[in-house]
Each structure stands twice: as structure tokens, then as C-alpha cells.
Amino acid sequence: MTVPEQTADVRGESRREGAGKGRRRIPLLLALAAAAYAVDLGSKLLVVARLEHHAPVEVIGTWLELRVMRNPGAAFGMGGAMTIVFTLIAAAVAVVIARVAGRLYSAPWAVALGLLLGGALGNLTDRLFRSPGGLRGAVVDFISVHGFSVMNLADWAISAGAALIVLFTFCGWELDGTRRRSEEGPIQP
């Protein structure tokens, strides 16, 4: 068995030669994206059919309720007049993930990107097909956390995926399954 040699790339960072080879994780990314999308779409269809135009359903007192709201904006109801911008951002996220998927050999990155893609597609579906339509559709939000926000499962998937991406980037984990290390050692706080 041979040990991969260390080489320095143009940024002065060392990498293991031959690392990242193995199985691409595109099927995992797609499976998680499809699952996140299906759960989000199914939950929205269910709450619109059963809970819209009804009193909120208390799950944990008034701290956590199911309360259907239509949100033309972004998280926390911000940017209601910028619905088209949010639609284009969601579409851009899907395109970027599709472009980087060819370099994806890391299972953790596949999980993060799958959650992000599934959530983006869930909210994009609302923007395209819910009233008033034409890239201006309002997203169905229904998970109300007292004093915080009203969200949906796509928002939770996006948040979890984004948090994982920040973590993996901070830890130096690459899409190809390698770990980036600086010649100067770890970053000091």
C-alpha cells in the first residue's frame, strides 16, 4: 500500500494526491433533495387543505403552533416586494448545486447540498405555482415559533444545509472528500 504524497497547490495549501477518488455522491445528493422536496411539498399540501382559514393548532402551547401564512418575502417576512429576486436566487442555487455536483465525492457535502437543493426547490415551486403565480407566488409557511418566525420545512432544510456548509467550510472539508490544510498550520482565533 502506498501513502499519497503531499503537494502544494497554487494557494500554498497542501493536498493529498489521489485523495477524493472514489464514488461520486450525486445519487445521495439527489435522494436527499428529492426527500426534502417531497416532505416539504406534502406538508404544504396537507396544511393548506386542512389548516388554512382555521385557528392555529397548538403543538407546544403557544410556543410552537401550526399557523398557515402566505409569505411573499424571505425569512422573517422581510422583502415582500422582492419576490422575483428570491425566485431568481432559488433558481440560481439549484443551478450552482448542479454545476458543483460533478466534483462531489464527499457524503457530508452531499447531505448539505441535498438539503439546500430540496429546500430551494420547495420554495421555488411555491414562487412559480402559488397565487399570484408568475415568479411572484407566496410561499406557504406554517411552523410558528413564538416570538421568532413562521417557517416551513423547506426553510428548515435550507437552514440545516447552510449551517452544514458553513461548518464544512470552516473545518476545511472539500467537495472531493479531502481536507484543506494550510502550510502555516491551523487558523488561530
Say whether 126 is catalytic: no
- What's the full length of the chain, in residues? 189
* Least confident piece of the model among 25-29, 73-77, 97-101, 179-183: 73-77
CA dist 33 and 45 (Å) reads: 18
Residue 12 in any domain: the answer is: no
Number of domains in the chain: 1
146 in any annotated domain: yes
The answer to whether residue 179 sits within a structural domain is: no
Strand order in the sheet with 64-71: 57-60, 64-71, 139-145, 149-151
What is the predicted pLDDT for the residue at 81? Answer: 56
Tens of pLDDT, residues 53-82: 999 999 999 999 999 999 876 655 555 556
Tens of pLDDT, residue by residue over 112-152, are 999 999 999 999 999 889 888 777 788 999 999 998 889 99
Among 9, 40, 126, 141, the one annotated catalytic: 141
Inter-axis angle of helices 107-129 and 26-50, nearest 10: 40
Residue 118, class by beta-carbon neighbours within 10 Å (0-12 exposed, 13-18 middle, 19+ buried)? Answer: buried
Query: Is 16 a member of any domain?
Result: no
pLDDT at 187: 47
Q: Report if residue 161 sits inside a domain.
A: yes
Select which of 9, 126, 155, 176 is catalytic.
Answer: 155
Give yes or no for residue 94 having a pLDDT over 80.
Answer: yes
Reported pTM: 0.78
